[in-house]
Amino acid sequence: MSLYFVIFGNLMGGLGMAMIFNHGASTGGTDIPAKLLNRYKSMDIGRSLLIFDFIIGAGAGIVLQSVEVGMYSLLGILINTFAIDFFIGTSSLKKQVWVISDRSDEIGKAVSAELNRGYTFFQALGGYSGEGKKVLMSIVRLRQVGLVREIVRDIDPDAFLIIGTVNEVMGEGFNDIRRLN
């Protein structure tokens, strides 16, 4: 057994399982109790899988009386665990967009119309200029960031634009906050 097969196979398996979990589905087997732990104990799905799969992997090494098989199995489980958590984490990333502009109203309407995203205004006072400004804040999907940049550039090329990564968003248009335990 080659170490490369263990690494590559479990990375690809982790990617596939992350896609399945992101759609609320299950592959059966140990991910059913792992999903239950995830739901009721708020433990990352990959870490929950690690607990159950580690027991099975260690058992395989003992039953087959092979240290090598046990070690490859446990290594594969660790790689799979971290791959699942990594791919789930990166697929759920959202972007928080802050726009400081004299034309925030127009930018907000364009974000709503073109991206189907809501927005919120905040009143701000410029520390340098002392001027009052209306600041727009919106959460968009990763693939929508380029469109936000274009909207802002086209409407107000002098705007101040801040884009940051958000790990989790709950509420209208994103994950349902009522599903929290």
Domain residue extents for the chain: 3-91, 94-166
The pTM assigned to this predicted structure is: 0.60
What architecture is domain 94-166? 2-Layer Sandwich (3.30)
Is residue 150 predicted with pLDDT exceeding 80?
A: yes
Token reading at 172:
């209208």
Residues 35, 115: Cα–Cα separation, whole Å: 32
Is residue 175 predicted with pLDDT exceeding 90?
A: no
Residues 125, 34: Cα–Cα separation, whole Å: 48
- What is the predicted pLDDT for the residue at 170? 73
- What is the predicted pLDDT for the residue at 55? 86
pLDDT classification of 177: cutoffs 50, 70, 90: low
3-state SS record for the chain: CCHHHHHHHHHHHHHHHHHHHHCCCCCCCCHHHHHHHHHHHCCCHHHHHHHHHHHHHHHHHHHCCCHHHHHHHHHHHHHHHHHHHHHHHHHCCEEEEEEEECCHHHHHHHHHHHHCCCCEEEEEECCCCCCEEEEEEEEEEHHHHHHHHHHHHHHCCCCEEEEEEECCCECCCCECHHHCC
The mean predicted confidence, pLDDT, of the chain is: 85
pLDDT classification of 178: cutoffs 50, 70, 90: low
Backbone angles phi, psi at 161, to 5 degrees: -120, 130
CA distances from 125 to 92, 99, 130, 132, 155 (A): 33, 14, 6, 4, 22
pLDDT classification of 1: cutoffs 50, 70, 90: low
Question: Who wins on pLDDT, 160 or 88?
Answer: 160
pLDDT classification of 97: cutoffs 50, 70, 90: very high
CB 4 within 8 A of CB 75: no
Residue 52's nearest CA partner among 72, 18, 69, 29 is 29
